[in-house]
Structure formats: structure tokens, C-alpha cells
Amino acid sequence: MYHDVVIAGFGGQGVLFIGNLLAEAGMDEGFHVTFMPAYGVEMRGGTANCNVIVSSEEVGSPITDSPLTGIIMNEASLMRFLPSIQKDGFLFYNSSLIPEEAVSRNDIQVVPVPANDLALKVGSAQVASLIILGCFIEWTQALRKESFPHALEEMISPKAREKFLPLNLAALEEGIRYAQELKQKGS
């Protein structure tokens, strides 16, 4: 198993959070994982992105130039990362903010996720990233869904846990549900 993912969006869209979560869950499943955030001056200008790799063998470079999957939260990031996704790879994009026309590739599986809308449904636009992550998990089956609740718990500080854990879990579930729905439509 080797799955490398680029996750990108505005600062504040939870991009680093879900990247971390993905790595955390991968680790819990016993995989080799790396999480590599963009940092420093790269952060100025309000964008954020990171690379996550989950692999059954030791990971080489933690920076992935042609990831298998892109999880993209806004249009600027789509411009930047769409071309790099591997042929036959996956794109999960936030269709609440990104118009369909912007996605110009047909050699990859493209999964539009109205993440902001679904997030609002769950209770807060804040958790859009978890929606899209849930969708990724279900669609690719890269990791087991069961790993995420625990990973989430690890990542949220004990103080905030009570308040945020249920919301985050709900978002993840919603994402998973949405993916299942999509799949069914597709099949």
C-alpha cells in the first residue's frame, strides 16, 4: 500500500488539521506515515497545504510531486495542484467554492464535494474539511473508517474534546455518507 495525498486550501479551512488526522489514523493502523506541511513564508498570502503519505513500507521523500490524491478546498489551490495529480489518481474538491468548469482533467477520478454546504448542514462551516476527508476515506478505502474516531480524539486537546469531538465526528460521518451516496449513483 502506498498512498500519497496533497491537501490544500485557504488558511483556516482546516487543511493542516485533516492532513494530520489522516497521518494519525494511518499510524494507528500500523502504516508508515509522513505528514509534511508547507511552512514559513510560504504561508503568507493565506494559503495552506500539506502532503500526507501512508505506506506499508518505509517512506522515502515526504514531499510528493505527483500525488495519487488531491484534496482541494479552494480554487487558487486547484490551479496550483491539479496538474500534479497522478494519472488515474483522485481529486476531491470543494464544490461549494470551486466551479465545476475549473476542473480540467479527465484522466483522474474527480469527486466534487459540496463541503461547505454539507458542513453547514452538520452544524458549522468550520468542519468542511472533515466532510471532504470523510468522503476521501469512503471513496478510496485507503484507511479504515474505524481508525478515525480515535485519531480525532488524540488530536483534539482534552479541554476542547467535549465541545468539538461530536461535531467533527458528525462531519466525518456525513462525508462518508455522501461518498456512499455518490458511489451508489455512480454504480
Partner 1 sequence: MAKVSIDRERCKGCHFCIEVCPKKIMVVEKRYNQKGYPPVEITDMEMCTGCALCAEMCPDVCIRVWR
Partner 2 sequence: MKLVFDHPKSLKDTPSHFCPGCHHGLIQRLVAEAIDHYELQDTCIGVASVGCSVFMYNYFDVDVVEAPHGRAPAVATGVKRVHPDKIVFSIQGDGDLAAIGTAEIIHTANRGENITIIFVNNTTYGMTGGQMAPTTLLGQVTTTSPYGRDFQQDGYPIRMAEMLATLEGSAYVARVAVDKPANLMKAKKSIREAFRMQKEGMGFSFVEVLSSCPTDWKMSPGDACKRVEEEMIPYFPLGVYKEREIADHL
Partner 3 sequence: MKRKLVKGNEAVAMGAMDAGCKYYFGYPITPQNEIPEYLSQELPKIGGVFLQAESEIAAINMVLGAGASGVRAMTSSSSPGISLKQEGISYMAGSEVPGVIVNISRSSPGLGGISASQGDYWQAVKGGGHGDYHVIVLAPDSVQELYALTARAFDYADIYRNPVMVLGDAVLGQMKEPLLRELPPPMELPPKDWALTGRKGGRPQNVIKSLYLDDGELEKHIWKLVEKYERVKKETVLYETKEIEDADLILVAFGTAARICKTSQKMARDLGLRVGLIRPISLYPFPEEVLRSTSETTKKYLVVELNAGQMLEDVRLAVGPGAEVSFHGRPCGAGSLPKPNEILEKIKSVYGSFPKPTDMERGNSHETRV
Instruction: Report the interface residues with partner 1, using CB under 8 A.
Output: 10, 45-46, 74, 76
159: contact with partner 2 by CB under 8 A: no
Least spacing, CB of residue 100 vs partner 3, in Å: 28
41 near partner 2, rule: CB under 8 A: yes
Nearer to partner 1, 30 or 45 (CB): 45
Cα gap 125→119, rounded to integer Å? 5
Is 45 one of the binding residues for partner 2 (CB under 8 A)? yes
| Residue 88 engages partner 2 in binding (rule: CB under 8 A) | no
Closest contact distance (angstroms) between CB of 44 and partner 2 is 5
Q: How far is the CB of 45 from partner 2 (least distance, A)?
A: 6
Partner in contact with 123, chosen from partner 1, partner 3, partner 2, none, beta carbon below 5 to 8 Å by kind? none
Binding mask 21-40 for partner 2 (x = CB under 8 A): -------------------x
